[in-house]
Chain A
Amino acid sequence: MQFRNLLIGCAVAALAAAPAWGQGGTLTVGLKAEPSSIDPHYHNLGPNNSMAAHYFSRLVEQDDKLRLLPGLAVSWKPVGDTTWEFKLREGVKFHDGSDFNADDVLFTFERAPNVPNSPSSFGTYLKGKSFAKVDDYTIHISTERPYPLMPVDMAAVPIISSDVGAEVGTADFNSGKAAIGTGPYRFVEWVPGDRLVIERNEDYFDAKPEWEKIVFKPIKSGPARVAALLAGDVDFIDNVPPIDIPRLKGDENVQLSQGVSSRVIYLHMDQYRENSPFVKANGGGDIKNPLLDVRVRKAISKALDRDAIVDRVMEGVAIKAGQLLPEGFFGVTPNLQPEPYDPEGAKALLAEAGYPDGFELTIHGPNDRYINDAKICEAVAQMLTRVGIRTAVETMPKAVYFRRASRGGPDNSPEFSFILVGWGSGTGESSSPLRSLLHTYDKDRGFGASNRGRHSDAEVDKLIEDALATVDDDARLKLLQGATELAIGRNQGIIPTHYQVNTWAGKKGLSYTARADERTIAMGVTSDK
């Protein structure tokens, strides 16, 4: 670590004399991750989706706080109980000059869930829906039951031109032949591992972005990315390693942009096994799983010094958490605050639950997935040990961790007892984490897919399911808040620790509108003029 600090220290000195940057309209961006394809429907994953947003538009767009904005649809509203009407924008042209209309939308929705070899498909947003063209600029989307998240789902699927034909393959997009969208930039070329180049679309239907040309360079290694910025090879980077942040802050040639993300980091506890594999009595004997007792779960939450986690482990770059999403997002309840640090209260609760001397526990976590994930596990373990729960730490690469955490045990059950995980709400509201993390695990109906602690409460399930079938925003907000208050406030089904804050860095004079979905969108990079 020291040489990296040295590196930055020297860079400060070297860059002090460097001239102000003048780019002539080209912005070079160093990215941690590059997309796996240009085909916008091939791989439903962060790097692909954020890159596709440059050259493809969606019916509905999301701003930096994931609020919905008109995109290729100018307005939308429910008509009847189970149908939504989307009015499309007129006069929009694709990059090849052809006109956009409802046929393109229907073509897209036909293709998107059915791309061959897709490692993660867009069926998630499209299945169970039927699409009908009313006229060239109006479409109706129907579901079997009332469905409030329709506009959010429509914000996930990039619209392609029907002119590319039904036979179009992923390779046609990668070569650029079929990469024809309506977005603010047009695709120029992609050399995997080396660069991805886009040019401004002068016919874009909305506000034109500042940069004429953008070159994305994948630089996976954190120190190398920072060095590339300091050396002037790139103008802007994402995922600044936290350890470099304090020094970059002191560098007058570098400008940092930070923003809280919709990603909550939380602890999940085994709440369904009487005999949990990584919970032991003091001395290592078997014990009835204490994590089944809500008082023990609450004691763990009280034992966490969230301020210390934020200040020391996260170097101040995080916000302590008491629920599923930070303030300002839909579904956040005013009645839940981050649990204050209270070790005495934690000990009292443990004693009340019948564990005055605590027990033994192992926390498992990834070491290359979230910011400082392994260090957080260590801090949590120390804090728990202080109140009597002697906690061992085991961290591993995400490639190994997630399989074991989700289905590493017998009969594909979760292998661990106490884990650290994160959840970024793709929808920007709390139904996403509620249905995946806190609804009863129900494979057939697709609930609780990431409920690795198997939290289960019929009351919570009902509130979540009602919310997912309530179109009226006010009523749905109440249901989501109610579900959150019960699942976390009453049951402590998970223990939130903090919301991740992400950091981008650019040359002096470049600022970025930090996005809650952690995406790096070049349209958000602006220069002070």
Chain B
Amino acid sequence: MTVFIIRRLMQSSVVVAVMSLLVFVGVNIVGDPVDMLINPEADQAEIERVMRDLGLDRPVHEQYGYFVVNALQGDLGKSFIFGEPALQLIVQRMPATFELAIAALLIAVVLGIPLGVIAGLRPEAPSSKAIMAGSILGFSLPSFWVGIMMIMLFAVMLGWLPSTGRGDTVPFLGMQVSFLTWDGLQHLLLPAINLSLFKLSLVIRLARAGTREVVHQDYIKFARAKGLSESRVVLVHLLKNIMIPVVTVLGLEFGGLVAFSVVTETVFAWPGMGKLIIDSLHELDRPVVVAYLMIVVLMFVIINLLVDIVYSVLDPRVRLQDARA
């Protein structure tokens, strides 16, 4: 397993290097940040000063070299807009996004697996058909629209939940979290549901497909023949065996939840990384965009590795081996 991990890490560093080049060059050929940053009243001399200060007067390959040298020392550059290290800006907003993503993932798992199993056990029942129809909606409705509709229904018309922002936070393990306060929970609920809808549908479909397959296996028939209670058959024998695809997909999807909660964060003005990245893109804050994408690449690489390891724990038949073997 150690060999496997080392090999994977080496492959990953190549991926990271290639990504850094693509991202850096891609971001640097669009527009000019100076026009976004500068007061229109400024004269030509001030415009040139800002370009010099930000290093924009240098050719792209020179800027890239500079970026790589600094990045290897852990410095991903300073935000053009905030003047603070890009990494620090992203890390500051990370807890909010992680909180949202974890809440969404929990909702997806806690609701999705039981619903999927129910739909899989009795595929012809009306309730199962309703669940599957609902999951199609979850897949196909755009989350921007769903978010606005949820705000309209629960915040504007019913007045049950707040429409925007993060609410009160308290320190927890050195981070500011909102799920430990009542106000924070209320603020968390709508965006978490909004973000989870797609994953929820995905989990329902995976769990249903898994259940349909597993329920006809010999060991389930044997368990029933042995006279085990239905709940033991489902909760122990069936559930364990449908978890592998669910864990794989959710592991990968969790990265997506964290990296691309952009839409939900924008609609609900959630102060997380997604909102930061979309604002930075609009305002051409290149160092933040580059740093963010680098972090996302790293995150995906790590999650993939972790999924492989969890896999081997869940399914003893899987061996992590040197790829050449």
- A associates with B: yes
Known: A7-B156, A119-B54. A220 touches B37 (CB 8 A): no
Known: A45-B37, A227-B151, A233-B164. A449 touches B43 (CB 8 A): yes
A227 partner, pick from B36, B163, B284, beta carbons under 8 A: B163
Restricting to B231-280, which residues have a CB under 8 Å from any CB of A?
266-269, 271-272, 275-276, 279
* Distance A447 CA – B151 CA, assembled complex (angstroms): 49
A117 proximity list for chain B (CB < 8 A): 53, 78, 83
A221 proximity list for chain B (CB < 8 A): 266-267, 269
* B47 interface contact, C-beta 8 A: yes
Restricting to B57-83, which residues have a CB under 8 Å from any CB of A?
78, 80-83
| Binary contact readout A43-56 vs B (1 if CB under 8 angstroms, 0 otherwise) | 11100000000000
* Distance A45 CA – B42 CA, assembled complex (angstroms): 11
| Binary contact readout A285-309 vs B (1 if CB under 8 angstroms, 0 otherwise) | 0000000000000000000000000
The residue among A11, A170, A194 with the most chain B CB atoms within 10 A of its own CB is: A194
* Distance A10 CA – B152 CA, assembled complex (angstroms): 8
* Distance A368 CA – B31 CA, assembled complex (angstroms): 14
**B84 adjacent to A171 (CB under 8 Å):** yes
A224 proximity list for chain B (CB < 8 A): 148, 151, 163-164, 266-269
A44 proximity list for chain B (CB < 8 A): 39, 42
* Distance A110 CA – B148 CA, assembled complex (angstroms): 48
* Distance A381 CA – B37 CA, assembled complex (angstroms): 30
* Distance A476 CA – B136 CA, assembled complex (angstroms): 69
**B31 adjacent to A403 (CB under 8 Å):** yes
* Distance A119 CA – B145 CA, assembled complex (angstroms): 36
**B47 adjacent to A7 (CB under 8 Å):** no
A233 proximity list for chain B (CB < 8 A): 155, 162-165
* B282 interface contact, C-beta 8 A: yes
> What number of residue pairs across chains A and B have CB atoms under 8 A from each other?
177
Select from chain A the residue with minimum beta-carbon distance to B38.
Answer: A120
* Distance A233 CA – B165 CA, assembled complex (angstroms): 9
B78 proximity list for chain A (CB < 8 A): 117
| Binary contact readout A201-233 vs B (1 if CB under 8 angstroms, 0 otherwise) | 000000000000000011111011001101111
| Binary contact readout B124-164 vs A (1 if CB under 8 angstroms, 0 otherwise) | 00000000000000000000010011011001111100111
* Distance A37 CA – B158 CA, assembled complex (angstroms): 37
Q: How far is the CB of A13 from chain B (nearest CB, A)?
A: 8
* Distance A275 CA – B279 CA, assembled complex (angstroms): 38
* B218 interface contact, C-beta 8 A: no
A193 partner, pick from B163, B271, B282, beta carbons under 8 A: B271
* B213 interface contact, C-beta 8 A: no
* B225 interface contact, C-beta 8 A: no
* Distance A118 CA – B38 CA, assembled complex (angstroms): 10
B164 partner, pick from A192, A219, A399, beta carbons under 8 A: A219
**A234 adjacent to B164 (CB under 8 Å):** yes
- B interface size (C-beta, 8 A): 58
Known: A37-B83, A117-B53, A403-B31. A446 touches B37 (CB 8 A): no
B32 proximity list for chain A (CB < 8 A): 402-403, 407
* A322 interface contact, C-beta 8 A: no
* Distance A462 CA – B281 CA, assembled complex (angstroms): 42
Restricting to A25-40, which residues have a CB under 8 Å from any CB of B?
30, 36-37
**A217 adjacent to B269 (CB under 8 Å):** yes
* A493 interface contact, C-beta 8 A: no
* Distance A171 CA – B32 CA, assembled complex (angstroms): 26
* A14 interface contact, C-beta 8 A: yes
Known: A191-B271, A219-B164, A403-B32. A432 touches B80 (CB 8 A): no
Q: How far is the CB of A334 from chain B (nearest CB, A)?
A: 26
* B44 interface contact, C-beta 8 A: yes
* Distance A117 CA – B54 CA, assembled complex (angstroms): 8
* A423 interface contact, C-beta 8 A: yes
Q: List 28 A-B contacts (CB under 8 A).
A: A6-B152, A10-B157, A30-B164, A36-B82, A37-B82, A117-B78, A119-B38, A119-B50, A120-B39, A121-B50, A192-B89, A192-B93, A192-B271, A193-B271, A194-B165, A217-B165, A224-B151, A228-B269, A231-B155, A233-B163, A233-B164, A397-B282, A398-B36, A399-B36, A426-B39, A426-B40, A426-B41, A449-B44
